[in-house]
Amino acid sequence: MQNLRAEIQQTKPFSSPAEEAFLNLQRTADQLLAVEAGFLAGYELTPAQYNVLRILRGAGEPGHPCQEVGARMISRVPDVTRLLDRLEKAGLVERRRCTKDRRIVYAMILPKGLTLLAQLDTPMAALPPQMFAALTKTEIRQLNDLLVRARGS
């Protein structure tokens, strides 16, 4: 198993273990996201679009205000409006203005979006266990705990 310095062909040592952990996390996240993105590309979706569809499925019939969708995203995206535009153009979601406050726009998933998610549920659920097959369940729990702690600092 190669360490990060060897993978990126860096000859100098990292300035600190924290820097190495930070870069290791970025490298790992990039590789895991590439697997997810490659799979979703076959369905003409990006990981961010998939995340929006899941958020809206969870919201049920009323949907969520667009601002709420952005707040619930796993990875921040700079322009939720454009993301929703693409999903709306594909017939997967729709947006409606709130009748009580016209400044608020709700996004709702459409039946076509629900059907697509139903097709993706099983294969997407299989991806994380495949990606973390080299770790034991205990190591995965430890990793989760460490990542939560790192986000809290």
- In terms of pLDDT, which residue wins out, 11 or 92? 92
pLDDT in tens, 105-121: 899 999 999 999 999 99
Which whole number is the average pLDDT over 18-28? 92
- Assigned CATH topology for domain 17-117: Arc Repressor Mutant, subunit A (1.10.10)
What's the pLDDT at 2?
Answer: 63
pLDDT, residue 66, reads: 87
- Model confidence at 13, pLDDT cuts 50, 70, 90, reads confident
Instruction: Using a cut of 0.85, tell me whether the model's pTM lies above it.
Output: yes
Joined together, the tokens standing for residue 130 give 């495949």
Dump pLDDT digits (tens) for 54-107: 999 999 888 999 889 999 998 888 888 899 999 999 999 999 987 788 788 899
Domain boundaries, the chain: 17-117
With a cut of 60, say whether residue 1 has pLDDT above it: no
Q: In what order do the strands lie in the sheet with 105-109?
A: 64-65, 105-109, 93-97
Give CA–CA dist 153/150, Å, rounded: 5
φ and ψ at residue 133, rounded to 5 degrees: -60, -25
